[in-house]
Structure 1
Amino acid sequence: MHYSTFECHINTRQEDMETQRVREMLEATTLVVSIVAAIIIVRWGWKMVKWLWLNPKRLERVLREQGLQANPYKFWVGDLREMMKMHEEARSMPMMSLSHDLSPRLFAFVLHVLHKYGKNSFLWFGPTPRLIVTSPEQIKEVLSKPYDYSKHNLNPLTKYVSPGIVKLEGEKWAKHRKIIGLALNLDKLKTMTETFFQCCDDMARKWEKMLSSSNGKCEVDVCPSLMNLTQDVISRAAFGSSYEEGKQIFDLLTEQAELVATHLQRYHIPFWRFVHAKDFRRIKEIDRMVEDFVKGIIKKKEKALKAGEAIKNHLLGMLLESNHKEIESQRKHNNAGLMSMKDVIDECKFFYFGGQATTSSLLAWTMMLLSRYTDWQTRAREEVLQVFGNQKPNFDGLNRLKIMTMILYEVLRLYPPATWLERSCEKDMKLGNILVPRGVNIFIPTLILQQDQEIWGSDAKEFNPERFSEGISKAGKGDSVVYFPFGWGARICIGQNFTLLEAKMAFSLILQRFWFELSPSYSHAPLLRMTLQPQHGVHVILHKLA
């Protein structure tokens, strides 16, 4: 009996010791977890303090010591609240006349900063300072050094509407540009002229059919037709498919672009992404859906290419062909810089968005301006009829249209699709006499500069294509760097010739068959939806030429 009691006591003591060891292990584990969590929280907190306060204040001090001025930095939001308030107020006020002075409507806060602090100023986009650069010499330096002034570290939302080559840097950018350049050179564009004609002719026939049922005259908002045209051109010329095949992709990209435009300027407002999480999930969902659609198109084209089928006159086929040739020429070398399936998908998505949005903007504003300035419409028509008569426009003839080229250049000056450029400093840089520290973004207000009276003269805000009669280099004060609707330097838009050729074909056919005047119902309300678009369309009175 005594032995059993002793054994029970021993077992109880062992259980107590085991329990104690477990408790000690749990306490030790809890302590370790607490320490690790504390370290993570402290590190995260330190990073947040650096990002939201210490770095902005350091950058502010460096900029102010050089005589640059701005509003005092406000924790986290910077100038965003005031910027959005002024932007909404400017948009809510109707433009009482058909003024081409768009800066007060689109860049109210930037003008406010420039008027208050002068040209040597900067503004706060959240915790990031944006140095406003307006000097032609400084702009030239920024745009000619793409490796030092990059597109990295800009708003994360832009990756959804500017994929592909636009967001690439370094050697990968150089390799992609070389491959895409082979697919977009003038010889390849020449083969697409027939596709351009077919798409434009389809639109013109629809207009003729509409006029035939309304005694040769009717009012119409041309924006939907012009948008369908540019979508059809991209679908056929870029992918060899019809507009109907690509309609789902365009509808998705349009929805995505509108969501991105809604949240782009507010992205850095505290907790904005959490409050509007549903929209951000939809943006990502559309991205996956579009990628699947484009992947299907690419696989069909690659299969045809491997089967030895001839490349049709479309950009995707040429892009794949160029990439395959590049792989063959470098088979014995490292091919890491060549284009993967994901790379090709991103470039296709960029063609879809960039090619359509940029060209539709140019066509819409050209239609509005030619409707208002009918003397220039008449001059352009006379030139088209002199070069082509009533025959089908061809590649060589389109390149001889001097007046049309002048008109398109002036439209792009007054209504550039992209109204500003932004770059980030990858390291401390000397820009003229200014030391630009790493972490500062460069802001180039394209629209403001392209309407600057000091550069373009007293008629800078007026429509006058004659200023381009001797080309871009002699327009204004002769410094072509102040004219950059497609960018400038090494990163100039690789698709600008595609856009201009499409626009010349479209207006050659329109001018051969119609004359048009601006409708009294037209409401002048330029709006920035990723590209500059007319908010309420372009209403014109369309007439059939006798």
Structure 2
Amino acid sequence: MVLATMANPLIYFSICLFLSILIILVKFLNKVWWTPIRIQSLMKSQGIEGPTYRFLHGNTKEISSMIRKIRSSPQELLHHTLPMVHPHFHSWIQIYGMNFVQWYGPQAQLIITEPELVKQILSNKDRSYPKTKVSSEIKKLLGDGIVLSEGEKWVKLRKLANHAFHGESVKVNSCMVPEMIASLEIMLERWRHHHGKEIDIFSEFKILTSEVISRTSFGSSYLEGQHVFDMLTRMTHIISENNYRVRIPGIGKFVKASYDIEFENLEAKIRESFMNMMKKREKDAMLGELDGYGHDLFGLLLNAYHDSDETRKISLDDLIDQCKNFYLAGQETSASALTWIVFLLSVHTDWQDKARKEVLELFGQQIPSQDRIAKLRIVSNHSTMASF
């Protein structure tokens, strides 16, 4: 009788454990097998095809293999860079057409390359296309700043950014243009010492843009700004190196890889750096060394953080996230754009000659002023860039 009584709870526990494992297994298979197969079938019925879904890892192994193969050998300097930058896109467009479905693990990704559809999606007038949900790592990297935020919050952050870089604000912040010119002169002087030698212009432009952003938008020294840039860059490298590594759902809550630990440490150090910059600026404002908190981007963000009006006020996390967005996205996009322009000018020497002639005719050997830069036509003409 006693044995029977003890056996009943044991049997009950075993049944519950079995059912729990069964439910977890069913949910897991539904997520990584049944749902992807169903989506793939539905998309195919609508004429949208793509590479076949592979259990658990999707197409990530194929993508990683293509990238490693194309980047393991030297490439020609051609304008058509898609086969080198995104070899999987280039390959699958040839096979499946301009629009296709690829798989990031069990997550379907609809790739749109048809210009009219891209234009329609980006215009998003009826807000049918929300911003893509990003990985937890990218969310930690950029936070809920202007890049990832939406709705009223995006509008508030966009107004602050627009105000910081509006023509009138640039004039009020009188040191902004001279700081840009000084940074550029330092770079050019460095280039003169490398006359006749090869220069890595992307690295040079990264130094230039990081220095300009640090000084003009955050009022920090180059070394202080470079420290933040280095940490943010390392975080992006960690994301890039592990971009196509698919993990078992939930495993990260119990076991952290070495790169996860490094990523979290970098995130904490970056937050500490911005907090120190914030305390220094607040101290300068209290001592009367600044007009308010300053007129640069960082000053405007601090003003919004201390604003008593809740409609204009931003949180501490918003302030830090916005700083990370401008430090990282501002530098990377500017350095890449400058590098691309110089590359295009080196390929299309006729436009290089036209641009140089215009600059010399307008400025001669003088340093360009903010007002006269607007008079450049060939250099600033969008159709010129399109013709490249």
Report the residue type matching 2:162 in the other structure: G
- 5 Å-filtered alignment, 1:207-222, equals 207-208=191-192, 210=193, 217-222=196-201
Q: Which has the higher strand share?
A: 1
Change (3 A) 1:36 1:268: same
Determine what percentage of the aligned residue pairs are the same residue: 32
**For the residues of structure 2 that align with 1:24 and 1:336, how far apart are their CA atoms?**
65
1:97-150 per-residue CA deviation (whole Å, 9 max, x = no partner) reads 321111122222222222222234322222122222233332233223384322
Look up the match of 1:166: 147
Conservation of the 8 A alpha-carbon contact between 1:183 and 1:319: no
Matched residue type, 1:171: E
Residue 131 of structure 2 aligns with an amino acid whose one-letter code is K
Per the alignment, do residues 134 and 217 of structure 1 end up closer, same or farther by CA in structure 2, a change over 3 Å counting? Answer: closer
Distance between the aligned counterparts of 2:156 and 2:12, measured in 1?
49
User: Within the alignment, does 1:278 sit opposite 2:262 as a pair?
Assistant: no
The CA distance in 1 between the partners of 2:12 and 2:324, in whole Å, is 48
Cα offset, 1:39, TM superposition: 5.8
Structure 1 Cα separation of the partners of residues 274 and 19 of structure 2: 45
**Residues 292 and 41 from structure 1, CA distance in 2 versus in 1: closer, same or farther, beyond 3 angstroms?**
farther
Q: Which residue of 2 is the match for residue 301 of structure 1?
A: 281
Per the alignment, residue 48 of structure 2 pairs with: 68
Contact 1:183/1:322 (8 A) holds in 2: no
Q: CA 1:31/1:143 → structure 2, altered by over 3 Å: closer, same or farther?
A: farther
Contact 1:157 1:264 in 2 (8 A): no
State which structure, 1 or 2, has the greater radius of gyration over its C-alpha atoms.
1
1:199–1:229 contact (8 Å) kept in structure 2: yes
Q: Is the 8 A contact 1:236 1:314 kept in 2?
A: no
User: Could you tell me how far 1:152 is from its partner in structure 2?
Assistant: 4.1
Is the counterpart of residue 316 in structure 1 residue 276 in structure 2? Answer: no
Partner Cα separation in structure 2 for residue 36 and residue 233 of structure 1? 62
Counterpart of 1:197 in structure 2 is: 181
The answer as to whether partners of 1:79 and 1:123 remain within 8 angstroms in 2 is yes
Aligned to 1:402: 377
CA contact 1:68–1:122 (8 Å) conserved in 2: yes
Structure 2 gaps, min length 5: none
Work out the CA distance in 1 between the residues paired with 2:159 and 2:11: 57
Equivalent position amino acid for 1:137 in 2: E
Aligned residue number for residue 499 of structure 1: none
- Could you tell me how far apart the structure 2 residues matched to 1:264 and 1:409 are? 35
1: CA distance between counterparts of 2:206 and 2:53?
Answer: 42
Measured after TM superposition, the shift of residue 366 of structure 1 is: 2.5
Deviation at residue 256 of structure 1 after TM alignment: 1.8
Match of 1:142 among 121, 142, 151: 121
Cα distance in 1 for partners of 2:65, 2:260 equals 23
Structure 1: give runs of 5+ residues left out of the alignment: 1-19, 414-463, 466-546
The one-letter amino acid of 1:179's match is L
Q: TM-score under structure 1 normalisation?
A: 0.62
Q: Does residue 1:363 correspond to 2:344, yes or no? A: no
Change (3 A) 1:112 1:387: same
1:130 is paired with a residue of what secondary structure?
A: strand
1:176 matched to 2:157: yes
Question: Which AA in structure 2 matches 1:54?
Answer: W
Alpha-carbon distance change, 305 to 152 in structure 1, aligned in 2, over 3 angstroms: farther
Give, in angstroms, the shift of residue 268 of structure 1: 5.1
For residue 281 of structure 2, what is the amino acid of its counterpart? K
Distance in 1 of aligned mates of 2:122 and 2:61: 30
What secondary structure sits across from 2:103 in the alignment?
A: strand
Distance apart, 1:68 and its partner CA:
1.7
* Pairwise CA RMSD: 3.4
Flag the structure with more relative contact order, 1 or 2, with Cα contacts below 8 A and sequence separation at least 6. 1
Alpha carbons 2:202, 2:336 under 8 Å: kept:
no
Distance 1:241 1:113, change over 3 A: same
Residue identity matched to 1:204: L
Q: CA deviation at 1:57?
A: 2.1
Secondary structure of the residue aligned to 1:287 is helix
Counterparts of 1:111 and 1:372, CA distance in 2: 23
Corresponding letter in the other structure for 1:157:
E
Aligned length: 380
CA contact (8 A) 1:80 1:269 kept: no
